[in-house]
Amino acid sequence: MGRGPGLIRGREQPGFSRTKIPTGTPGFPDNEDTPSWLGLTDVEFGNKVNGTSYGREAWFSALPPYIQAKPLYTYALEGISAYNRYNEGHDIFHCPTAVSFGIDPFNQDRVYFSYGMNSKGMWEQSGKIQVTPLKTVNVKNPAAFALFSDNRVRWDDAPVWDKDRIAYAASKAGGITLGSPQNYTSRFSMRHNNGGNITFSDGHAEHFKYDYVCVDGATLGSGYTAGKASDPNRSDIWWSHDGTPIKP
């Protein structure tokens, strides 16, 4: 997962790619957390007709060319054979362990990501101020600033106290976001020996136990949600670029 430097774009004023294709992007009908192949195809159809490049600043299209890999938007242009090839999991978007465990529940129309980009990175002062676009100069401690992390792709890839896991186990419907292109404590995976990997802004990666990265919001007091995996504000894992804690 050591791909932090590849996210940087622009030589004079380096910054970070987008974490997703935002909901409401022209031609993109999907929710930003649950992109579909049809949604990616629609936005690329609009780009072709109008000479635009909407969606291509998202990390999954901006990053791959840095390592001689295919941007995700090219899969959308290619069609069904590319979707099937993507789902086999032999690319930078997939974790081999996640592929071996399988996605549950699985929707063949969805685009699933084993890794997600930090969705809270643009925030500072505990979520009071948003900095967009986020530049590398805004990051106070690149060695602690989380850039990518293992993303849950199964409903049961969560502790027993997780409220989304509990709700899904009871109804087998709704309540859980899997394989989103953007990630935070609320979607962090524990598939690697009860823990997951995080890549930081300086390019290094580390494995952490789940209960070091995430705690039940009930233990953190006012403003946090019981049963929600939350940030305990570790000094070596920053989700905001200034190191202040962010509530999920």
Q: How far apart are CA 63 and CA 72, in angstroms?
A: 9
Q: 112 near 150, Cβ under 8 Å?
A: no
Kind of pairing between the strands at 129-130 and 123-124: antiparallel
Kind of pairing between the strands at 8-9 and 123-124: unpaired
Q: pLDDT per residue over 152-198, tens digit each?
A: 999 999 999 999 999 999 988 777 899 999 999 999 999 999 999 99
User: Residue 93 corresponds to which tokens in the numbers above?
Assistant: 């978007």
Q: pLDDT per residue over 197-214, tens digit each?
A: 999 999 999 999 999 999
User: For the whole prediction, is pTM greater than 0.85?
Assistant: yes
Alpha helix positions (H), 51-162 = 59-62, 72-78, 80-87, 96-101
pLDDT value of residue 127:
85
pLDDT value of residue 156:
96
Q: How far apart are CA 40 and CA 222, in angstroms?
A: 39
Closest CA to 117 of 193, 60, 175, 56: 60
User: Which one-letter DSSP state was computed for residue 61?
Assistant: H
